[in-house]
Amino acid sequence: MANIFKGYEESTFNELEELVANPNKLFTIPAIDSVSDLLGMVANIVFGIGFAFGFIGLAVSFVKLTTSRGDAKAVDTAKNGLTWSVLAILVTIFAIAIKYIFLDLAGVKDKDLLNALPENI
């Protein structure tokens, strides 16, 4: 019989076993050593939320557009939603670009600061 888990890392299963053995580990607060760690983490969370709202708005607007049945007011509402959703995504992309530009100008090479996210959430 072939190993169906071939290619999967053992560390994934070890982490699951640790969580089953100690469920409180799931709710630990990540270590924040400096203000820059906190700001990097908050910025990345805000960027993720910005993308999420943009794509959800895009999906809702497309559904509204396809179900408008030619009603001029409904079509205008859907087009307005599409415009604002695309704008939200573009603003988020520009904010990420500005973050990387400032970090590059400051000479930051620490990958943890560039991509900081909370760990056990």
| pLDDT tens-digit series, residues 65-114 | 999 988 999 999 999 999 999 999 999 999 988 988 887 787 777 655 65
Predicted local confidence at residue 101, as pLDDT: 85
Q: What is the pLDDT of residues 29-64, one digit of tens each?
A: 666 777 777 777 788 889 999 999 999 999 999 999
For 96, the domain range is 30-114
Residue 17 lies in a domain: no
Closest CA to 88 of 52, 117, 60: 52
pLDDT value of position 25:
67
Has residue 8 been placed in a domain?
Answer: no
Nearest to 42 by CA among 34, 57, 86: 34
In the 8-state DSSP scheme, what is residue 72?
H
Rounded to an integer, what distance in angstroms lies between the CA atom of residue 114 and that of residue 104? 10
Residue 7 within a domain: no
Indicate the number of domains in the chain.
1
CA-nearest of 26, 45, 32, 20 to 121 is 26
- Compute φ and ψ for 107, nearest 5 degrees: 80, 25
pLDDT on residue 42 = 84
Residue 19 resides in a domain: no
What would the two tokens of residue 83 be?
A: 């415009």
Under the banding of pLDDT at 50, 70 and 90, the label for residue 11 is: low
Res. 18 pLDDT band, cuts 50 70 90: confident
Given this model, what pLDDT does residue 1 score?
Answer: 46
Helix 72-105 vs helix 35-66: crossing angle, to nearest 10: 160
The pLDDT of residue 103 is: 77
Task: Please report the pLDDT score of residue 84 as a whole number.
Answer: 96
Evaluate whether residue 25 is within a structural domain.
no
How does DSSP classify residue 13?
A: H
Whether 11 is covered by a domain: the verdict is: no
